[in-house]
Amino acid sequence: MKLETLTQSIGEWLRGTGPESDIVMSSRVRLARNVANYPFVSRATDQDRADIERFLRERLATLPIGRGLEYIDVGHLEEVDRQFLVERQLISREHADAQGARSVAIDVLEQVSLMINEEDHLRIQCMHSGLDLRGAWEQIKVVDDQIEKVVPYAFSPRWGYLTACPTNVGTGIRVSVMLHLPALVITRQIDKVFRSLHKISLAVRGLYGEGSQAMGDFYQISNQTTLGKTEEELVEQVGDVVPVLIDYERRAREFLVRETQQNVHDQVSRAYGILRTAQTISAEETMQLLSRVRMGVLLGLIGDVKIADINVLLVRTQSAHLQKLRGAELDVKDRNIERARYLRHYFEGGHSGGHTSAN
């Protein structure tokens, strides 16, 4: 599986088949780990980083999971390919933009990805569709157990797993869910929700875009602390709040349908209309309109589009995906045209019948 294969497939977590996947797009668990015989990445020399990368790669290859992993040398990728991996959520933006030897190992289902030399020597990540933190945690535990048999992690009985940033020390775990909350945004309740989450030590950030204004009403909720609680407690801490948020969002959606049916129907129809006919369209606008249409599908106002289709489009209309699908480098203007072309083609080509295969 090289990048070309990834271009044609879609990630497991996008399939929209997991529990509560109308609101919860995906669940993710990440672990931060370091080896003890080298400095942390930011202090490591180029030689150090090359040594660490080679050591970890060789060790990972000896493991049972190693057989199912595809290695990508991020350090030597073209920028568009690095961007592609970021859009696919397989590597972080930091990993793409950093310097020095770094790589990522990805499993064939795109559920597990292991970044080497991101902020820590090793960042293990597991993503599942819908609300399935427990499943993601169980899977990543297996991976972590296998790796630590052959890689001596930097660990202290007091501080736990030692990480480059003290904000990650201890369990080194980041538990997060990606939520789609358009009704809470429209009914202006989203700020209230953020404040109450912050009070219980959960961090919220917009998935696309900066700060509190999330493009497309997609948000990521995650734990803020990593020390002093067990991994299970932290998985629970995030997991427990999700049903509450789901309930708020569902009620807000019901309210919208009850009180403002005409308005909502009009908004989602217009969004759907633009996506199907625009000749040029920006990434931001696409995100916002897809978010509307996604809500429209869930409210039963749009019948011929599936959630999985929207999930796929959210990724495939991003800039690197567009360029790879097209097989050419495109500047912003051309990308906007290509994006519109791709959307028109997708909606009229019968793909909205639930197909999630490549066009």
Partner 1 sequence: MKCQQCDHPAVFHITELESGAVREVHLCEDHARVYLNQSEGDAGPDSLESAEESGKKQPTGGKLVGPLGVAQTADELSRLDQKVCDMCGITFFEFRNQGRLGCPHDYIQFERELEPLIANIHDATQHTGRRPSRTSVADASGSFPKEPLPESTAELSHAIGLRRQMREAIACEDYEKAKENRDLIRTIEERWLART
User: Which residues make up the interface to partner 1 (CB under 8 A)?
Assistant: 34-40, 42-43, 45, 48, 55, 62, 119, 144-145, 148-162, 164-167, 169-171, 173, 198, 203-205, 224-231
27 forms beta bridges with 128, 177
Nearer to partner 1, 148 or 247 (CB): 148
* Among 218, 266, 18, CA closest to 135: 18
Nearer to partner 1, 5 or 42 (CB): 42
Query: What distance in Å separates the CA atoms of residue 339 and residue 347, rounded to the nearest whole number?
Result: 12
Amino acid at 326: R
Nearer to partner 1, 184 or 312 (CB): 184
Least distance to partner 1, CB of residue 136, Å: 16
Beta strands of 173-238 (E only): which ranges? Answer: 173-180, 202-206, 218-223
- For residue 190, give every residue at least 6 positions away whose Cβ sits within 8 Å of its Cβ, in sequence order, or none: 181, 184
**Do 38 and 48 meet the contact criterion of CB atoms below 8 Å apart?**
yes
**Do 26 and 18 meet the contact criterion of CB atoms below 8 Å apart?**
yes
Token code pair at residue 116: 């080497």
Least distance to partner 1, CB of residue 290, Å: 25
Nearer to partner 1, 39 or 209 (CB): 39
Nearer to partner 1, 92 or 352 (CB): 92
Least distance to partner 1, CB of residue 40, Å: 6
Least distance to partner 1, CB of residue 153, Å: 5
Least distance to partner 1, CB of residue 245, Å: 16
- For residue 256, give every residue at least 6 positions away whose Cβ sits within 8 Å of its Cβ, in sequence order, or none: 183, 186, 187, 264, 299
Query: What distance in Å separates the CA atoms of residue 359 and residue 349, rounded to the nearest whole number?
Result: 9
**Do 292 and 215 meet the contact criterion of CB atoms below 8 Å apart?**
no
124 forms beta bridges with 31, 114
Token code pair at residue 294: 């996604």
Least distance to partner 1, CB of residue 165, Å: 6
Least distance to partner 1, CB of residue 138, Å: 13
Nearer to partner 1, 148 or 304 (CB): 148
Output DSSP code: residue 243.
H
Least distance to partner 1, CB of residue 200, Å: 12
User: Is 51 buried (19+), middle (13-18) or exposed (0-12) by CB count in 10 A?
Assistant: middle
Nearer to partner 1, 115 or 305 (CB): 115
Nearer to partner 1, 150 or 332 (CB): 150
